[in-house]
Amino acid sequence: MDLRFTPEENAFREEVRAFFRENLPKGLREKLVAGKHFGKQDLVEWTRILNAKGWAVPHWPTEWGGTGWDPVRQYIFLSELQSCPAPSPLPFGVNMVGPVLYTFGNEAQKKRFLPRIANLDDWWCQGFSEPGAGSDLAGLKTRAVREGDHYIVNGQKTWTTLGQHADWIFCLVRTDPAAKKQEGISFLLIDMKSPGITLRPIQTIDGGREVNEVFFDDVKVPAENLVGQENKGWDYAKFLLGNERMNIARVGMTKERLRRVRELASLERSGGIPLIEDRRFREKLAAVEIELKALEMTQLRVVAAERSREKGKPDPATSVLKIKGSELQQATTELLMDVVGPYALPYMSEHDDGPDLPNEPSPGPDWAAPIAPTYFNYRKVSIYGGSNEIQRQIIAKAILGL
């Protein structure tokens, strides 16, 4: 298999780089380079810039705003987006519910929701995990009972990322409690403004409040918001999670963070010797870079095989990408912790919606403040999208046949 890019593909890469260089707001890029968080309006503005170019949903079908790019160009675009660095469009809409809708939804749902997802007119969040049903997602207990032309939903979802901004939530709900747990689940679209929905923030270990609990108390949901067939939601969820795992690899983002590691490690420290001169540190850095190159080659093989994959069928190889990609993202935060050294703690949270903290100056340079919060936040990446332990089970069954 020849994994080299053609001259035409390299020219496309330069076109993408030039567009990002000329159109990404400078202040937004500076936030990302510094490891700081950006706000809702930052992402809305950038998504609409991409959408005006026709690049907000490049992997979608052309009739719904897609570019028609082959898998290689889609890979190049995503890699350059992450390496720039620039924000990815909101994944809950673009990479999760959007593909489910254009693959399994009806025409009315496609026309209603897909253009608004592409332009970020609607902010979506994910309603999958529950207390006691995270890694064992099929054990979910949120119920939806059909009453005439509505479902009545009761239950609770948790770890709902950015739910505080959301207009809509896509939910897995149990519609047949008598069936086997994977067979009695449906996929519902729920308006977050519906009476009976309560959202409560959860403060995370990094000091932020990006995740939430969502409670449903006799929430009426129009039956027309059912995606696909009743009790087939588990199939749609597996399809969605396959897309999520492909994107969790984040090769481009890890490349950019390693560039940042080298940049900061080259600065003089209080002792006068940059950390990059330390042989042990260079060995750790080189080991991560080698692993990243191997991951990139693996992702390119998955991309090359995508042309022959049956539509709507998840690729179990995405579990490999998810495991190694999440491990390398965590490894880069550990390298940054080595770089920041004693300035890691105490730290000042820079979340706009974070807790009130004492009005004290940071003890170190400005670039040091976000590093410890990022390290703590990235403990989660080996869990969401299906924990790495679950991914190993998928590999054992679907790839190795054990």
Q: Does residue 364 surpass a pLDDT of 80?
A: no
Taking residues 204-232, report their average pLDDT. Answer: 94
Tens digits of residue pLDDT in 35-57: 888 999 999 999 999 999 999 99
Instruction: Scan for tokens 């959007």, then name that residue.
Output: 98
Burial 254-282 (b: 16+ CB within 10 A, else e): bbbbbebbeebbeeeeeeeeebbeeeebe
What does the pLDDT read at residue 314? Answer: 61
Q: Coil, helix or strand for 289?
A: helix
Burial class (CB in 10 A: 0-12, 13-18, 19+), 74: middle
**Can you read off the two tokens belonging to residue 243?**
């897309």
What does the pLDDT read at residue 319? Answer: 87
312: which residues sit within 8 A by CB, 6+ positions away?
A: 103, 104, 239
Taking residues 136-157, report their average pLDDT. Answer: 95
Q: Which of 207-211, 296-300, 348-352 is predicted with the least confidence, judged by mean pLDDT?
A: 348-352
CA proximity to 105, closest of 61, 154, 74, 57:
61
Burial class (CB in 10 A: 0-12, 13-18, 19+), 195: exposed
What does the pLDDT read at residue 354? Answer: 42
Calpha distance 205→26 (Å, rounded): 30
Instruction: Scan for tokens 């010797």, then name that residue.
Output: 273
What does the pLDDT read at residue 1? Answer: 57
Q: What proportion of the chain, given as a percentage, has pLDDT over 70?
A: 91
What does the pLDDT read at residue 312? Answer: 52
Question: What letter does residue 130 receive in the DSSP assignment?
Answer: B
Residue that wins the pLDDT comparison between 358 and 238: 238
Taking residues 267-288, report their average pLDDT. Answer: 90
Q: State the DSSP string of 254-282.
A: HHHHHHHHHHHHTS--TTSS-GGG-HHHH
**Can you read off the two tokens belonging to residue 260?**
């940042």
What does the pLDDT read at residue 158? Answer: 96
Our CA dihedral for 130, 133, 139, 143, rounded to 10 degrees, sits at -10
Taking residues 136-160, report their average pLDDT. Answer: 95
- Domains in the chain, please, with CATH? 7-89 (1.10.540.10), 124-232 (2.40.110.10), 249-399 (1.20.140.10)
**Can you read off the two tokens belonging to residue 310?**
């049956």
Q: CB neighbours (10 Å) of residue 338?
A: 18
Q: CB neighbours (10 Å) of residue 307?
A: 9
Q: Does residue 357 surpass a pLDDT of 50?
A: no
Q: Which of 59-68, 144-153, 204-213, 217-226 is predicted with the least confidence, judged by mean pLDDT?
A: 204-213
What does the pLDDT read at residue 355? Answer: 40
What does the pLDDT read at residue 270? Answer: 67
Among the ranges 24-38, 44-58, 384-398, which has the highest mean pLDDT value?
Answer: 44-58
Q: How much is the CA Rg of the chain, to the nearest whole Å? A: 22
pLDDT band at 71 (very low <50, low <70, confident <90, very high): confident
Calpha distance 39→169 (Å, rounded): 20
Q: Does residue 252 surpass a pLDDT of 60?
A: yes
176: which residues sit within 8 A by CB, 6+ positions away?
A: 183, 184, 230, 231
Q: Which residues are catalytic?
A: 244
Q: State the DSSP string of 140-152.
A: ---EEEEETTEEE
Calpha distance 380→377 (Å, rounded): 6
CA proximity to 21, closest of 72, 114, 86, 76:
86
Q: CB neighbours (10 Å) of residue 139?
A: 13
pLDDT band at 375 (very low <50, low <70, confident <90, very high): very high
Question: What letter does residue 23 receive in the DSSP assignment?
Answer: H
What does the pLDDT read at residue 305? Answer: 77
Taking residues 204-227, report their average pLDDT. Answer: 94
Cα-flanking dihedrals φ and ψ of residue 108, to 5°? -65, -40
Contact between residue 96 and residue 103 where contact means Cβ atoms under 8 Å apart:
no
Q: Does residue 359 surpass a pLDDT of 60?
A: no
Our CA dihedral for 240, 236, 120, 51, rounded to 10 degrees, sits at 70
Calpha distance 386→240 (Å, rounded): 11
Our CA dihedral for 179, 182, 186, 191, rounded to 10 degrees, sits at 130
Taking residues 368-389, report their average pLDDT. Answer: 88
What does the pLDDT read at residue 396? Answer: 92
Calpha distance 284→280 (Å, rounded): 6
What does the pLDDT read at residue 204? Answer: 86
Tens digits of residue pLDDT in 288-335: 999 999 999 988 888 877 766 655 566 788 889 999 999 999 999 999
Contact between residue 224 and residue 108 where contact means Cβ atoms under 8 Å apart:
yes
